[in-house]
A and B are shown apart, each in its own frame.
Chain A
Amino acid sequence: MYKAFLIKYAEIGIKGKNRYIFENALRDQIKNVLRNMGEYIVTKEQGRIYIECPDGYDFEETVEALKRVFGIVQICPVMILDTTDWEPLQEAVGDFVQVKYPDRNFTFKMEAKRGNKNYPITSPEICIEMGAYLLKRFPELKVDVHRPEVKIMVEVRNKSYVYSEIIEGPGGMPVGTAGKALLLLSGGIDSPVAGYMISKRGVTIDAVYFHAPPYTSERAKQKVTDLAKLVSRYTGPIRLHVINFTEVQLYIYEKCPHEELTIIMRRYMMKIAEQIATDTGCLGLVTGESIGQVASQTLHSLAATNEVCKLPVYRPLIAFDKQDIVNIAEKINTYETSILPFEDCCTIFVAKHPVTKPSLKVIRNSEKALQEKIDELVNTALETKETLFIQ
Chain B
Amino acid sequence: MEAYLDNAATTRAFDSVKNIMTEVLVSDYGNPSSLHSKGVQAERYIKDAKEIISKSLKADPKEIIFTSGGTESNNMALIGTAFANKRSGNHIITTRIEHPSVHNPLLFLEENGFRVTYVPVDNEGKVIQEELLNAVCDDTILVSIMYVNNEIGSVQNIAEISKGIKEKKPNILFHVDAIQAYGKYTIYPKREGIDLLSISGHKIHGPKGVGVLYVRDKVKIKPIIFGGEQQKGMRSGTENVPGIAGLGQAVKLIYKDHEAKISHLYSLKEMLISEVSKIEGITVNATSSDTRLTAPHIVSVSFEGIRSEVLLHALEERHVYVSSGSACASNHPQLSGTLKAIGVKKELLDSTLRFSFSVETTQEEIEFTINVLNELVPILRRYQRH
Q: Contact between B313 and A217 (Cβ–Cβ < 8 Å)?
A: yes
Main secondary structure of the interface of B (DSSP, over half): helix
In the bound complex, CA of A348 to CA of B306 (Å): 12
With A341-B332, A341-B333 as contacts: A218 and B386 at CB distance below 8 Å: no
Q: Do residues A258 and B386 form an inter-chain contact, with CB atoms below 8 A?
A: yes
Residues of A within 8 A of B332 (CB): 341
When the two chains form their complex, are residues B385 and A348 in contact, meaning their CB atoms are under 8 A apart? yes
Closest to B380 in A: A214
A214 in contact with B314 (CB, 8 Å): yes
Which B residues lie within 8 Å of A314 (CB)? Answer: none
- Chain B's nearest CB lies how many Å from the CB of A82? 52
- Give the tally of cross-chain contacts (CB within 8 A): 34
What residues of A have a CB within 8 angstroms of the CB of B312 in the complex?
214
A349 neighbours in B (Cβ, 8 Å): 383, 385-386
Q: Does A41 contact B (CB under 8 A)?
A: no
Q: Establish whether residues A215 and B386, one from each chain, have CB atoms under 8 Å apart when the complex forms.
A: no
Interface size for chain B: under 10, 10 to 19, 20 to 34, or 35 or more residues? 10 to 19
Residues in A330-344 with C-beta less than 8 Å from chain B: 341, 343
Q: What's the Cα separation between A307 and B386 when bound, in Å?
A: 27
Contact of B386 with A352 in the complex, beta carbons under 8 Å: yes
Closest residue of chain A to B376 (Cβ to Cβ) is: A214
Q: Choose among A213, A250, A341, A348 the residue that contacts B317 (Cβ–Cβ < 8 A).
A: A213
Please name all residues of chain A whose beta carbon is closer than 8 Å to the beta carbon of B310 when the two chains form the complex: 214-215, 348
> Does B217 reach chain A (CB closer than 8 Å)?
no
Pair A214/B317 contact, Cβ less than 8 Å:
yes
Least CB separation from B333: chain A residue: A341
Contacts of B63 in A (CB 8 A): none
Q: Are A218 and B383 in contact, CB atoms less than 8 angstroms apart?
A: no
Residues of A within 8 A of B386 (CB): 258, 349, 351-352
Minimum C-beta distance from B116 to chain A (A): 28
Interface status of B43 (Cβ within 8 A of chain A) = no
Those of B268-284 within 8 Å (CB) of chain A:
none
Query: In the bound complex, how far is the Cα of B131 from the Cα of A315, in angstroms?
Result: 61
The answer to whether A96 has its CB under 8 Å from any CB of chain B is no
Contact A253:B383 (CB < 8 A) given known A214-B310, A341-B332? yes
Q: Please indicate the chain B residues that have their CB under 8 angstroms from the CB of A348 in the complex.
A: 310, 385
Contact A215 B333 (CB under 8 A): no
User: Of residues 334 to 386 in B, which have CB atoms within 8 Å of A's CB atoms?
Assistant: 382-383, 385-386
State the 4 A-B residue pairs at the shortest beta-carbon distance, nearest first: A214-B313, A214-B314, A341-B333, A217-B313
In the assembled complex, 25 residue pairs joining A and B whose CB atoms fall closer than 8 Å, in A order, are A213-B313, A213-B317, A214-B310, A214-B311, A214-B312, A214-B315, A214-B316, A214-B317, A215-B310, A215-B313, A217-B309, A217-B313, A218-B313, A250-B383, A253-B383, A254-B383, A258-B386, A341-B332, A341-B333, A343-B309, A348-B385, A349-B385, A349-B386, A350-B385, A351-B386
Residues in B lying within 8 Å of A, measured CB to CB: 309-317, 332-333, 382-383, 385-386
Other A-B contacts than A214-B313, A215-B313, 14 sampled, CB-CB below 8 A, are A213-B313, A214-B315, A214-B316, A214-B317, A217-B309, A217-B313, A253-B383, A258-B386, A341-B332, A341-B333, A348-B310, A348-B385, A349-B385, A350-B385
